[in-house]
Amino acid sequence: MSIFQQLQESKIYKNEQALSMEFLPDFLPHRETHIQQIANNLNPLTKGRKPQNTFIFGAPGIGKTCVTRFVFRELENFAGEKVDTVFINTWDYNTATALLAKIAVELGYPLARRGLSKDEIIEKLVELLKRKNKSLIIGLDEVDQIVKKDESALYDLLRINQYVNSPVGLVMISNYEDIFANVEPRIRSSLDAEEIKFKSYSLEEMKSILKKRCEDAFKPGVVQEGVVLLCANHAVNRGGDVRVGLECLRKAAKVCEEEGGSKVTVEHVKKILLGVKSVKVQIMQDRLEGVDKNIVELLSKEKEIIFSKLNSKYNKSYEQLSDTSLKQHINYLESIGLIRTREERKGSQGRKCYLSLVRRKKFT
Ligand SMILES: Nc1ncnc2c1ncn2[C@@H]1O[C@H](COP(=O)(O)OP(=O)(O)OP(=O)(O)O)[C@@H](O)[C@H]1O
Ligand SMILES: [Mg+2]
């Protein structure tokens, strides 16, 4: 081995990537039943028949995205010549035109979005699907975004089925169970989605998941007894998000490396525990823009603030914003679980509304 190779070689890691959030393991413990269920729903696609549309929901960080990507990967491997899979996060594509154009891009045919109307994009997409003559399954992650901003997109996607022979199906994912409650009945009934609820992992389950990730990531014998339990326990106490456990492992391993050690110990974990917080709220906050971002910024400086005060602070710090508009943004932030509102009756003055930032979201 050359001297530079030796320098690249980690003392502890075999594959550091295996602790990253994007890494898709070849086995997902404790999700076998759901994997089977989703596979059953999608299986008709392999025979050119319409799949069962599926709606997956549950708390953050419990495998909804990775299970769906896992099944999509299996489906591509098994029937890639007959089925296309596309997976899109609707945070990033939250209008029908943006979403439809992105699907075309994912299928390898970029459309010039600007200048094309929605119907023109649909027409092109239909043309494309006819030419490919393959079944298509579309994964819509964080689907609440498109439901909120442009629910017609779902209808448009389903409508494509009327124009092509090979079927198009949807797997939709969200943290929230009731996102379709206010959707137009026509859209809801044509979705006809089977609901799958993902339950949070128990401590034992979290432990075995993290243990498997450690086996993929570290060289044998590197992780001391007790490390996984400590990380799993922290993750379960922080809302049950596996990403918290993975971050504990990564950070502890970093301390170990900095100390030049060759064993990740319970002491390493104890040093970093306080610095590892829930991640979902952070992820959602990072995605905000404009007014929503400004509101969160202002709320982060207060424990609780009354609406009228927030309003005047907003207008002082940023651009002028009407009461109604600010209220709309607040409703939105509340609906995605980033802020909390509390109303208090104040005699003749009517009701007062207090707002606060959710620092740690509790999901059921
Ligand atoms: N059963 C499992 N086995 C191995 N890794 C898992 C398992 N469940 C979750 N993970 C890992 O935990 C992390 C979070 O999972 P994932 O992204 O699927 O969560 P999610 O339910 O989609 O969360 P969110 O609602 O925030 O989008 C990923 O890195 C994923 O690989
Ligand atoms: Mg997800």
Q: Which of the listed CATH numbers 3.40.50.300, 2.130.10.10, 1.10.3720.10, 1.10.600.10 matches domain 32-197?
A: 3.40.50.300
Q: Boundaries of CATH 3.40.50.300 in the chain?
A: 32-197
Do 222 and 18 touch, CB atoms closer than 8 A?
no
Please identify which residue in the block is written with the tokens 């959602």: 284
Tokens (6 digits) for 357 = 């930032």
Q: Boundaries of CATH 1.10.8.60 in the chain?
A: 3-14+201-275
Is pLDDT above 90 for 16?
Answer: yes
- Determine the residue type at 236: V
Alpha carbon of 259 to ligand 1 centroid (Å): 30
The predicted structure's pLDDT at residue 348: 72
pLDDT grade for 337, boundaries at 50, 70 and 90: confident
- Assign a CATH topology to domain 288-357: Arc Repressor Mutant, subunit A (1.10.10)
- Give the residue-averaged pLDDT of 38-57: 97
For residue 305, give the H/E element and its range.
strand 305-306
The protein residue whose alpha carbon is closest to atom 28 in ligand 1 is 21
Beta bridge partners of 138: 86, 170
Is pLDDT above 80 for 360?
Answer: no
- Give the residue-averaged pLDDT of 52-64: 96
Half-sphere exposure at residue 345, Cβ-oriented, CA atoms within 13 angstroms: 2
**Which ligand gives the minimal distance to the CA of 64?**
1
**Ligand 1: lining residues by beta carbon, under 6 Å:** 21, 25, 28-31, 60-66, 175, 209, 242-243, 246, 280
Q: State how far the Cα of 136 lies from the Cα of 24, in Å rounded to an integer.
A: 22
Q: State how far the Cα of 172 lies from the Cα of 224, in Å rounded to an integer.
A: 39
Q: State how far the Cα of 8 lies from the Cα of 6, in Å rounded to an integer.
A: 5
Please identify, by atom number, the ligand 1 atom nearest to the C-alpha of residue 174.
25
3-state secondary structure of 203: helix
Q: What radius of gyration, in Å, describes the C-alpha atoms of the chain?
A: 24
In the chain, % of residues over pLDDT 90: 77
Please identify which residue in the block is written with the tokens 């990740």: 264
The predicted structure's pLDDT at residue 113: 63
Alpha carbon of 300 to ligand 2 centroid (Å): 25
The protein residue whose alpha carbon is closest to atom 27 in ligand 1 is 60
pLDDT grade for 103, boundaries at 50, 70 and 90: very high
Beta bridge partners of 141: 89
Query: Hey, CA dihedral for 231, 282, 300, 173, is it positive or negative?
Result: negative
pLDDT grade for 336, boundaries at 50, 70 and 90: confident
pLDDT grade for 279, boundaries at 50, 70 and 90: confident
The protein residue whose alpha carbon is closest to atom 14 in ligand 1 is 61
pLDDT grade for 364, boundaries at 50, 70 and 90: very low
Alpha carbon of 349 to ligand 1 centroid (Å): 47
In tens, the pLDDT along 208-263 reads: 999 999 999 999 999 999 999 999 999 999 889 999 999 999 999 999 999 999 99
Is pLDDT above 70 for 362?
Answer: no
Q: State how far the Cα of 337 lies from the Cα of 165, in Å rounded to an integer.
A: 40
Q: Boundaries of CATH 1.10.10.10 in the chain?
A: 288-357
The predicted structure's pLDDT at residue 9: 82
Is pLDDT above 80 for 205?
Answer: yes
The protein residue whose alpha carbon is closest to atom 16 in ligand 1 is 63
pLDDT grade for 272, boundaries at 50, 70 and 90: very high
**Which ligand gives the minimal distance to the CA of 243?**
1
Do 50 and 161 touch, CB atoms closer than 8 A?
yes
CA 113 vs CA 139, 163, 168, 326: distances in Å: 21, 21, 22, 31
Going by the DSSP 8-state scheme, the letter that residue 193 receives in this structure is P
With both helix axes pointing from N to C terminus, report the angle between 323-335 and 307-317 in degrees, rounded to the nearest 10.
110
Predicted TM-score (pTM) of the model is 0.85
The predicted structure's pLDDT at residue 238: 86
pLDDT grade for 87, boundaries at 50, 70 and 90: very high
Q: State how far the Cα of 58 lies from the Cα of 245, in Å rounded to an integer.
A: 18
Please identify which residue in the block is written with the tokens 């570290």: 218
- Give the residue-averaged pLDDT of 29-48: 97
**Which ligand gives the minimal distance to the CA of 23?**
1
The predicted structure's pLDDT at residue 361: 43
pLDDT averaged over every residue in the chain: 92
Alpha carbon of 65 to ligand 2 centroid (Å): 4
For residue 77, give the H/E element and its range.
helix 64-79
The predicted structure's pLDDT at residue 350: 77
Burial of 312 (0-12, 13-18, 19+ CB in 10 A): exposed
Q: State how far the Cα of 359 lies from the Cα of 338, in Å rounded to an integer.
A: 8
Q: Which of the listed CATH numbers 3.90.550.10, 1.10.8.60, 3.40.190.10, 1.10.10.10 matches domain 3-14+201-275?
A: 1.10.8.60
The protein residue whose alpha carbon is closest to atom 25 in ligand 1 is 60
